[in-house]
């Protein structure tokens, strides 16, 4: 239940944004945390901060025509939602997936505002993408699509304006094609306009690893705060993309045993611990399917086509695939199996009902806007390196990432304590992220 003021604002959000359930879900989740803030800070209400926060500063929707390998003209839809620039230029990834629509981009952009604020770095919130499906497309098709996408998007970008990065379906290959076209159209080598770049042309060490590493580090901090650790613990990771692969790597470094990986066709269980090199070969090099992992691994690794990766008994869960991938039944199964902590590598992977089950069972729950903030934080470090024409070592950059993740963990805990909800990381993340943005918006006047 929301109080009457929050409910009225939420009703207006529903009315103004029909048919966007993921966006409604993200807004409601934040509003539920903000009740405690409203009573202590009437100035936020006086300045209509919430209504202004829910309305993106700018929403760009455009046609993306391109020619496939058979010479057939294809048309996709492109999006960029420039959500909030109170703390810095819009910053957030591009997602290429057939499920992308305006509501999905708005939910991701809304989350991004608070996440970016939590990093403590000067970045605003934005998100974009397309309903283009890269699966099964040739390199030439990916290139032509990216070039067409950037032909429109470039006029809205700039290192002080809007700085996109990758997300689902957008990795180093796509960022390369996008940056190449940006450079060509603008005749500027403006490295700080995109992050996730290749290491030879303005990219940062650790950016590739940062989101997955950060989600594992956040889990480690939650475990340590409860007198526990990864040591010898079984860990379920979902997904097998950028976030999942490097979460698996960091879990191993921290002493845990990652026993699963998945994609949209099913999941694998490997009781001996996931073989990272094999997973990378299949997923990053060959762009194959997860079933091939079980086929090639032997030694008892098995593939399950139908079912939930969360059925596998584990101590720690790292959902790293996509939104709403862990539902209330999955949460109950995890609790029954004795799960200690859940750290979200993906954005909003747990449904609200699943989160309620974790809360009820006193499972440590790290929400995505805190637990996966390492990716965007390292993107901001990439921007710093670009601005100073510098390139930092792996060790230095990883140390910065680790400190940022520890800082976010502490901020969440301290804020939850301040508002009388000890251990509630979701409340801590929402309130701490919100306050900085709200204060900046008040300072700027009604704009």
By CB under 6 A, is residue 116 in contact with ligand NDP?
A: no
CB contact at 8 A, 116 and 169: no
Nearer CB in complex with ligand NDP: 88/93 = 93
CB of 446 to ligand NDP, least distance (A): 32
Among 241, 256, 366, 367, interactor with ligand NDP by CB under 6 A = 241
Nearer CB in complex with ligand NDP: 49/89 = 89
To 5 degrees, how large is the angle CA 217–CA 162–CA 43?
75
By CB under 6 A, is residue 195 in contact with ligand NDP?
A: no
Q: Which two tokens stand for residue 65?
A: 């025509």
Between 303 and 342, how does the x/- string for binding to ligand NDP read (CB under 6 A)?
-----------------xxx--------------------
Stretch that binds ligand NDP, among 27-35, 136-144, 177-185, 239-247 (CB under 6 A): 239-247
Q: How far is CA 342 from the centre of its chain?
A: 15
How far apart are the C-alpha atoms of 162 and 182, rounded to whole Å?
13
How far apart are the C-alpha atoms of 233 and 335, rounded to whole Å?
15
By CB under 6 A, is residue 146 in contact with ligand NDP?
A: no
By CB under 6 A, is residue 112 in contact with ligand NDP?
A: no
CB of 17 to ligand NDP, least distance (A): 20
Among 166, 192, 203, 256, interactor with ligand NDP by CB under 6 A = 166
By CB under 6 A, is residue 243 in contact with ligand NDP?
A: yes
CB of 34 to ligand NDP, least distance (A): 23
CB of 327 to ligand NDP, least distance (A): 12
Q: Which two tokens stand for residue 414?
A: 């301290």
By CB under 6 A, is residue 385 in contact with ligand NDP?
A: no
Among 242, 386, 397, 430, interactor with ligand NDP by CB under 6 A = 242
By CB under 6 A, is residue 167 in contact with ligand NDP?
A: yes
How far apart are the C-alpha atoms of 286 and 195, rounded to whole Å?
24
In the window 345-374, what residues touch ligand NDP (CB under 6 A)?
345-347, 372
Alpha carbon distances (Å) from 379 to 30, 96, 123, 376: 24, 19, 10, 5
Among 6, 168, 312, 380, interactor with ligand NDP by CB under 6 A = 168
CB of 323 to ligand NDP, least distance (A): 6
To 5 degrees, how large is the angle CA 164–CA 365–CA 411?
65
How far apart are the C-alpha atoms of 37 and 391, rounded to whole Å?
41
Q: Which two tokens stand for residue 153?
A: 């998007």
CB contact at 8 A, 59 and 85: no
By CB under 6 A, is residue 375 in contact with ligand NDP?
A: yes
CB of 97 to ligand NDP, least distance (A): 6
Nearer CB in complex with ligand NDP: 78/239 = 239
Stretch that binds ligand NDP, among 178-186, 258-266, 295-303, 402-410 (CB under 6 A): 258-266
Cβ burial of 441 (10 Å; 0-12, 13-18, 19+) is buried
User: What 3 state SS string does 34-72 have?
Assistant: HHHHHHHCHHHHHCCHHHHHHCCCEEEEEEEEEECCCCC
Alpha carbon distances (Å) from 298 to 271, 291, 292, 293: 11, 12, 10, 9
Among 22, 190, 263, 315, interactor with ligand NDP by CB under 6 A = 263
Number of residues that bind ligand NDP (CB under 6 A): 23
Total Cβ atoms within 10 A of residue 227: 6
CB of 432 to ligand NDP, least distance (A): 18
CB of 93 to ligand NDP, least distance (A): 6
Sequence-distant (6+) residues with CB within 8 A of 336 are none
Between 198 and 237, how does the x/- string for binding to ligand NDP read (CB under 6 A)?
-------------x--------------------------
By CB under 6 A, is residue 256 in contact with ligand NDP?
A: no
DSSP 70-108: TS-EEEEEEEEEEEE-SSSSEEEEEEE-TT--HHHHHHH
CB of 320 to ligand NDP, least distance (A): 6
Nearer CB in complex with ligand NDP: 6/109 = 109
CB contact at 8 A, 6 and 50: yes
Stretch that binds ligand NDP, among 23-31, 38-46, 165-173, 181-189 (CB under 6 A): 165-173
Closest CA to 92 of 115, 121, 71, 72: 115
Positions marked catalytic: 127
- Binding footprint of ligand NDP on the chain (CB under 6 A): 166-169, 171, 211, 239-244, 263-265, 320-322, 345-347, 372, 375
């Amino acid at each position: 239940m929301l109080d009457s003021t929050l409910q009225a604002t939420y009703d207006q959000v529903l009315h103004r944004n029909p048919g966007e359930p993921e966006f409604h879900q993200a807004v409601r989740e934040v509003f539920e945390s903000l009740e405690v803030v409203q009573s202590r800070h009437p100035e936020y209400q006086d300045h209509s901060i919430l209504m202004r926060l829910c309305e993106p500063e700018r929403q760009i929707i455009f046609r993306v025509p391109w020619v496939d390998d058979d010479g057939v003209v294809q048309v996709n839809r492109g999006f960029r939602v420039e959500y909030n620039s109170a703390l810095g230029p819009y910053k957030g990834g591009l997602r290429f997936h057939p499920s992308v629509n305006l509501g999905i981009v708005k939910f991701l952009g809304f989350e991004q505002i608070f996440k970016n604020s939590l990093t403590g770095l000067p970045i605003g919130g934005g998100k974009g993408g397309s309903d283009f499906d890269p699966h099964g497309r040739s390199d030439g098709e990916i290139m032509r699509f990216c070039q067409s996408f950037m032909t429109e998007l470039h006029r809205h970008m700039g290192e002080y304006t809007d700085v996109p990065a990758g997300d689902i379906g957008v990795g180093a290959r796509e960022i390369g094609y996008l940056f190449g076209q940006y450079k060509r159209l603008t005749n500027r080598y403006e490295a700080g306009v995109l992050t996730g770049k290749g290491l030879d042309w303005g990219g940062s060490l650790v950016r590739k690893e940062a989101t997955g590493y950060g989600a594992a580090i956040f889990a480690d901090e939650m475990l340590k705060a409860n007198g526990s650790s990864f040591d010898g613990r079984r860990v379920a990771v979902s997904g097998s993309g950028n976030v999942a692969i490097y979460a698996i790597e960091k879990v191993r470094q921290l002493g845990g045993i990652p026993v699963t990986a998945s994609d949209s066709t099913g999941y694998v269980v490997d009781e001996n611990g996931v073989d990272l090199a094999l997973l990378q070969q299949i997923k990053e090099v060959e762009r194959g399917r997860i079933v091939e992992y079980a086929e090639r691994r032997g030694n008892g690794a098995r593939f399950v086509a139908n079912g939930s990766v969360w059925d596998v008994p584990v101590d720690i869960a790292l959902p790293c695939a996509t939104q709403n991938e862990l539902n209330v039944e999955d949460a109950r199964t995890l609790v029954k199996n004795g799960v200690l902590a859940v750290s979200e590598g993906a954005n909003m992977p747990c449904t609200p009902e699943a989160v309620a089950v974790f809360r009820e069972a006193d499972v440590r729950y790290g929400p995505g806007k805190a637990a996966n903030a390492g990716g965007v934080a390292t993107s901001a470090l990439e921007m710093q390196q670009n601005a100073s024409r510098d390139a930092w070592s792996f060790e230095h950059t990883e140390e910065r990432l680790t400190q940022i993740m520890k800082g976010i963990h502490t901020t969440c805990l301290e804020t939850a304590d301040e508002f009388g909800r000890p251990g509630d990381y979701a409340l801590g993340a929402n309130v701490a992220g919100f306050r900085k943005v709200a204060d900046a918006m008040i300072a700027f006047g009604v704009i």
